Amino acid sequence: MRLAIVHKDRCHAKKCAHECIIYCPRVRTGDETVTIGEDNRAVISEELCVGCGICIKKCPFEALDIIQLPEELDTPVNRYGPNAFVLYGLPQPVAGKVTGVLGPNGIGKSTAVKILSGQVKPNLGIFDHEVEWDEVLKFYSGTELFDYLQKVAAKTIKASIKPQYIDFIPKVFKGTVGNLLK
């Protein structure tokens, strides 16, 4: 299985010659492997894509990534859309303990924190309609995360999150460090 990712902030189909379409071998054989969507950005069919990587090399804005997965992963926790980021797991917060999430850029740390803090409701990979909390809780029933997510759904969890960029802290908090920690 492969994931075809279009970085929407980098894809500028109005400013390029659609190299991703022109050079795609599957498009040349008549398949609609790469198209331009309604938002004027590339859309790659993960089912039709053979993972050759030509579109990645030809894109002038470096807006495409094709990731070969060793095996199909379980049901996603959250997916932002077709050819968009997919999160497959969440860290398990423990009451009375600090949970840290470390890793390289782009692996879903911020998305996981937003879900665990209740800022984002996980969509279980379904992005064409809103997934209700009942469905999310049913998916997590019998897991350690069930009780935690039940509290998130009921809005009885209070999360303290440091902004990703420390220069933004003065924009969201006024006072001393001691007051912030209290």
The predicted pLDDT at position 178 comes to: 81
pLDDT (average), residues 105-125: 92
Q: Residues 31-63: pLDDT tens digits?
A: 999 999 999 999 999 999 999 999 999 999 999
Same-domain pairing of 86 and 146: yes
Same-domain pairing of 32 and 58: yes
- CB-based burial label for 21 (10 Å; 0-12, 13-18, 19+): buried
Same-domain pairing of 88 and 62: no
The predicted pLDDT at position 69 comes to: 75
In a domain, 182, yes or no: no
DSSP 99-150: ------TTSSHHHHHHHHTTSS---TT--SSPPPHHHHHHHHTTSTHHHHHH
Same-domain pairing of 14 and 63: yes
Q: State both tokens at 78.
A: 């959250």
Range of the domain at 8: 2-68
In a domain, 167, yes or no: no
Is pLDDT at 21 greater than 70 in this prediction?
yes
Is the pTM here over 0.75, yes or no?
no
In a domain, 98, yes or no: yes
Q: Residues 130-166: pLDDT tens digits?
A: 999 999 999 999 998 999 999 999 999 888 777 777 7
- CB-based burial label for 45 (10 Å; 0-12, 13-18, 19+): middle
Same-domain pairing of 108 and 49: no
Same-domain pairing of 96 and 143: yes
Same-domain pairing of 148 and 82: yes
Name 43's bridge partners.
35
Residues 40/42/44/50 CA torsion (nearest 10 deg): 150
Same-domain pairing of 55 and 15: yes
3-state secondary structure of 53: coil
In a domain, 121, yes or no: yes
Give CA–CA dist 61/64, Å, rounded: 8
Angle between helices 109-116 and 145-153 (to 10 degrees): 70
The predicted pLDDT at position 96 comes to: 82
Average pLDDT, the chain: 89
For position 39, which CATH number holds?
3.30.70.20
Same-domain pairing of 48 and 114: no
* Count of the separate structural domains present in the chain: 2
**CA-based end-to-end distance of the chain:** 47
In a domain, 176, yes or no: no
Same-domain pairing of 148 and 84: yes
Is pLDDT at 70 greater than 70 in this prediction?
no
The predicted pLDDT at position 72 comes to: 63
Nearby residues of 81 by Cβ (< 8 Å), 6 or more positions away: 127
In a domain, 57, yes or no: yes
Same-domain pairing of 57 and 102: no
Same-domain pairing of 99 and 48: no
Is pLDDT at 103 greater than 90 in this prediction?
no
In a domain, 118, yes or no: yes
